[in-house]
Amino acid sequence: MAPEISNTSMLFLIVFVLIPLSLSYLYSLGLEKSITWSSVRGVIQLFLIGYLLTFLFGLQPIVGIPLMLLVMITVAGIHAAKKGSGIPSVQAVVLLILCAVEAVVLTMWLGFDMISFTAEQVIPMSGMIIGNSMVAIGLALERMKQEFRQNHDRLQAALALGATPKEASQLLIRKIVKAAMIPNVDGLKTIGLVQLPGMMTGLILAGVSPHVAIRYQIVISLSIFVAVSISAMLVTVFTYRAFYTQQMQLIRMETD
């Protein structure tokens, strides 16, 4: 069982913040305000979510779980959709994809009896699924806007030669999905060798047997990989048509 960290020990964590602050000041990076604000905001958010989870864990699972999932998906959807600003209906598309991915993964977990329908298990694990899907969607949207800007002339030429928007965009779609998936693919290659994953580490610190912790880590790692893959593919397939008009003409995306 991991020992409880005292308030005094927590105060010493300010040393960790002072190091990047000093480096920013030393090299004139201008990140002092961002580092300070991000650190303070992160700590406050974590303490608040701690109280919120304590409250939710006390509710009936049928009430607490959907409520927290709704909050997480909404926040993740808003954040990810910012990367696709300018793309019509991107907010709705992102929210639908996050809901669909979470529903598929949660159904698999419960259907195959990998976890039980309790807030203590569903909420933390779902948070990892939603968070990683959010990152993948954001990367895909950002990369999509970049690729369509950089390849505008090539796409115009393909359309002029009679290609449909789908045919003209096929290569870009593959590149976008691949770019969004690469971080997770690389992470799976070195999992357990370069680092002990967060969930596995947390369970071991809590006193769970390493063999049991590894099983849970395998479940969440492969679930995240599936979620990221589906999220990147769906957001790309559902939004690339926004770069074309009804007359199959290419729209030039403005630089953010």
Could you give the CA distance from residue 160 to residue 15 in angstroms, rounded to a whole number? 60
Could you give the CA distance from residue 141 to residue 135 in angstroms, rounded to a whole number? 10
**What are the backbone dihedrals phi and psi of residue 250, each rounded to the nearest 5 degrees, phi first?**
-80, 135
Could you give the CA distance from residue 252 to residue 36 in angstroms, rounded to a whole number? 38
Output the pLDDT for position 3: 62
CB distance 228 to 133 below 8 Å: yes
Output the pLDDT for position 235: 95
Neighbours of 166 (CB within 10 A): 13
pLDDT averaged per 10 residues, the chain (length 256): 72 86 90 91 90 87 93 95 91 96 96 92 94 94 92 91 91 88 80 70 82 89 92 94 87 64
Output the pLDDT for position 183: 82
